[in-house]
Structure formats: structure tokens, C-alpha cells
Structure 1
């Protein structure tokens, strides 16, 4: 396994931190898109299993996240559509860097929503898509007033810290929650108004176009996930026109399934799904 680190300048001049874990004779490639507030180095235990399968893994710290920020992370970005352009440029690099093998996409949480939106808007040549706890539907009972206020805040006070997420809902394992809270590259303050509003716009767009989703897809979600709504995964699963689609809901599972109580089972589901499609 060879670890590479570099940076990429986006279409609007932002420097993003990139890293890859390469295998000598890859059977496939995969671009991994992390979740809201976190960063790409939190997936090492999954990367090792993917490398063992012969998959070269590429990932990056998104706008406002991790090492792509000078100073402390902010979780701020102007537009989710800019983020989709980043994913498109980087997926293109993955396929040119590892040519002639199937190329997969993996997205968790916000990253799952972004990958779903990317597939719907850009129609990439992806061999398959894995969506872990994807952000596709807002929380049940979100009031129209709150949504309207969020839109106003996004426009006039975009960096206002608007929405606090409950870190204790990340995992049922207390040490994993502690690790998350103590990681200096994880953003744990309230989410900026613009970021939250852009994610809402993104989720609405995915719901509206879900019947156009046609890639092979594995959706995984915890039934007790209170950070992203499991109903979003059900909506995409039901509406997608993909002939090859699987939804696995893990009973009692929290948000970060690969860091939760039954993580070995979850990672095994991911690896087996990939193995069957390489």
C-alpha cells in the first residue's frame, strides 16, 4: 500500500487536500466523500479492507473541512453545486490515474447526499455507488418556518452558526464519540446557516430527481440514526430505476455505521458488495 498526499485547486481557486492509498495491481478504484464536519483521514480502517480487496482509494477534505482549511475547520461552503464540481473533477482524476478498472463512489452522510446528487446531475460512468447514512431527507417534523428562517439567514448571515448536531448520536461506542469530539480536524460547533441551507436545497433536488438514479447502488443506514433521516435512503431505494439496488437498514444503528457497535458486519456488507461487482 502506497500513501500519496497532494492538493487540488478547484475551479474557483480553493486548495483542497487530497490523499490516496494505492495498491500495486488494482482491481478497482474508489473515490470516498466524507461527511459534514469530519475529514477524510477518519476512514483508515475501511481503507485497509478496501486495499486488501485490491481497491485503490482516493479521497479529499472537502470545502471548509479538515486540512483543506488554513487554521481551524469551518464546515462552510457557498454552494453544494461547487462541491459537486469538485467531486466531478476528482472522479475524473481517479479514472485517469487508475485506468481500465471499475471506478466506484462512496459517500457518507453529507457526502452520501453529495454523491447521490452528483450521480443525478452529472451522470458519471461509475461502476457502482455506496451511500452510507446519506443526507437525502430532512428530519421528520422540520417546520416550514424554520426552513424559511434558514433561507433568510443563509442569504444575509451565511456564516452564522445555526444548527448544533448531537455528537453523542455518532456511535453507540462511547470511545468512538470521545475520539470524534477530541479530533482537532473535526468541526463540532453549530453548522453555518449557508451550509445547512445548501444541504436542504440539495436534499430537495435529490428527492425530486430520485427516479433518474440508474447506477448500481448499496444504501446502508441505521434505524436509530437521528443525524440523517433513514427515510431518505428508503425514498432513493424505492424510486431509483437501478436494476441493481440494495438497501440494508441496521436495527438500532447510529449514524457512523463503520464506527458503530456492529462495524465488522457493516464493513463486511460493503466489502462483499464490492467484491461481487469488480
Structure 2
């Protein structure tokens, strides 16, 4: 496989870090959208499995994240709509870079919510969408007061560190939690108020429009996910009008399904789901 690195200037002049893992004679391509606070290089085990199945992978570090943050990651962005514009521009690049093969979209956590919102707002042509632990409903126990005052805080103190996420909830494997906490490109401080507010707006939009979701999709969530709410995945699955839709719930699983105890089963499920949707050549 060939690993490519480059950068992309967004519509509002931000520079994003892009990378791709290309295979010779790809059967399909996929755009991968990472989760809140993390970065795209954390997906190498999944990339390797997909490359082995003949799928070229394109991804990027989102605004305020990883190598796209000028200096230290902040997990800050002004508007989730800006993020959707980034996804749309990069999805267009993927389609033109690998023409004539099915294109898939994968999103985890915040990335899962973003690609769901992208599907609803932009109606992209895609062979299918994979959403892992998507942010569609706030996690159980999220402060009602925090949600209520989020628009005020976001307006006047957009960079205020407002919501601390518990890294222990990403995986039941202690070594994975350690790796996450010790990665300098992972943002582990409290989430900025504006980012949190924009994610709430995104989730509200998905909930209100879920019945318009018509693309083929695979949804995966763990029952013990303490960072995004499995009920959000159930809501999208029930309301979506897609004729091709799958919901897989992993009992006891935490947030990062490809870094948790069921990871082999999860990655095989993703690969098999994609392979079933690639026409025989």
C-alpha cells in the first residue's frame, strides 16, 4: 500500500492535514471521519484490514484536531456546518481520485454524527455509510443544566473548557486507554463550549430529520458506551427509511469499538459489510 500525506485549504482558509492509504487496483474507496479530540492516524488497524480487502482509505485530521491544529490540538471549531463543508469537499476529492469504484463513508463518535448529518444535508452518492458509536444523542448523565446554558456559554465564552470526557470509558483494555492518554495528538482536556454546543445542534438536527435518512448503512454501538448514547443509534435505525440498514449492538462494549475487546469481530463486520456491497467484477 502507498501512504500519501498532503494538506487541504478549506473554504474559510484553514489548513487540514490529509492522508491516504492507497492500494493497487482498488475495488472501492472510503472516506474516514475520526471522533472528537482524536486524529486520523489512530485507525491504522482498520485501515490495514480494509486495504487487504482492496479498499483505498482517505482521511483527514478535522479542524482543531491532530495535525490540522496549528500547534497543540484544541478540539475547537466554530460551526459543525463548516465541518460538513470539509467532509463534502474531501468526499468529492475521493470520488475523483479513485473513479469508477464504489465509495463508502465511515465515521466514529463525533465523526459518526457528522457523517449522519452530512448524509441528511448533502444526500451524497455513496455505496454505504458505516457509523461507529455515533453522536446522535447526548450520553446518559449529561448535565441538563449544561445543555440548557450551552448556547449562552458558547456565545460569550466559546473557548471555555466546559465538558470533561472520561478517557477510561473509551475501552475495556487498559493499554488502549494508556495509549490514548499518552498520545500528544489526542486532546484530553475539557471540550470547548462552542464545540459542545455545535455538537448538540448537530445531534438535534439528526434526531429531527432521521426519517429522511435513505442511504444504505451499518450502525454499531456498545451497550456500555458512556460517551455517546446507544439510544441515538436505535433512534436512527428505527426512523431511517433506508431499505438497506443494519444495527449491531455489542453487549458490554465501551466507546471505541475498534480498540475494545470485540475489535476483531467489529473490524471483520465492517470489512464483510463493505465487501457485500462491492459488485463482482
| Common fold by TM > 0.5 | yes
Task: Please give the secondary structure, in 1, of the residue aligned with 2:11.
Answer: coil
1:68-89 Cα shifts (integer Å, max 9, x gaps): 0121100000000000000000
Offset from partner CA, 1:214-267 (integer Å, 9 cap, x none): 110000000000000000000000000000000000000000000001110111
| 1:188 match | 188
Q: Report Cα offsets for 1:167-196 as digits up to 9, x if no partner.
A: 000000000000000000000000000000
Gaps of 5+ in 1: none
In 1, Cα distance between the equivalents of 2:144 and 2:260?
33
User: Is 2:257 the partner of 1:257?
Assistant: yes
Corresponding residue for 2:151?
Answer: 151
Contact 2:225-2:255 at 8 Å conserved across structures: yes
Return the offset for 1:143.
Answer: 5.0
Counterpart CA distance in 2 for 1:139 and 1:183 is 24
Counterpart Cα distance in 2 of 1:154 and 1:22: 40
Answering whether residue 230 of structure 2 is matched by residue 215 of structure 1, we say no
Deviation at 1:151, TM superposition (A): 1.2
1:36-115 residue pairs with structure 2 within 5 A? 36-115=36-115
How many angstroms does 1:147 deviate by?
1.4
State the match for 1:165 in structure 2.
165
Partner of 2:277: 277
Distance in 2 between the 1:178 and 1:155 partners?
34
Q: How far 1:144 moved relative to its partner?
A: 4.3
Whether contact under 8 Å (2:31, 2:94) holds in the other structure is yes
CA distance in 2, matches of 1:271, 1:83: 26
* In structure 2, C-alpha distance between the alignment counterparts of 1:143 and 1:174, rounded to whole Å: 27
CA separation in 1, counterparts of 2:158 and 2:208? 25
Name structure 2 gaps, 5 residues minimum.
none
Give the paired residue count.
Answer: 278
Runs (4+) of structure 1 exceeding 6 A deviation are none
Deviations 1:25-81 (A, max 9, x none): 000000000000000000000000000110000000000000001211000000000
Q: Give the 3-state SS of the residue equivalent to 1:266 in structure 2.
A: helix
Match of 1:135 in 2: 135
Name the residue aligned to 1:200: 200
Alpha-carbon RMSD: 0.8
1:111-130 mapped onto 2 (5 Å cutoff): 111-130=111-130
| Separation (CA, whole Å) in 2 of partners of 1:268 and 1:179 | 23
Alignment partners' CA distance in 2, 1:140 and 1:41: 29
- Using the alignment, how far apart are the partners of 1:99 and 1:269 within structure 2? 25
Secondary structure in structure 2 of the residue aligned to 1:92: helix
Aligned-partner SS, 1:29: strand
| 1:146 shift after superposition | 2.2
- 1:138: Cα distance to partner? 1.3
Residue of structure 2 in register with 1:8 after alignment = 8
**Given the two structures, how large is their TM-score scaled by the length of structure 1?**
0.99
The match for 2:231 is 231
TM-superposed deviation, 1:140? 3.2
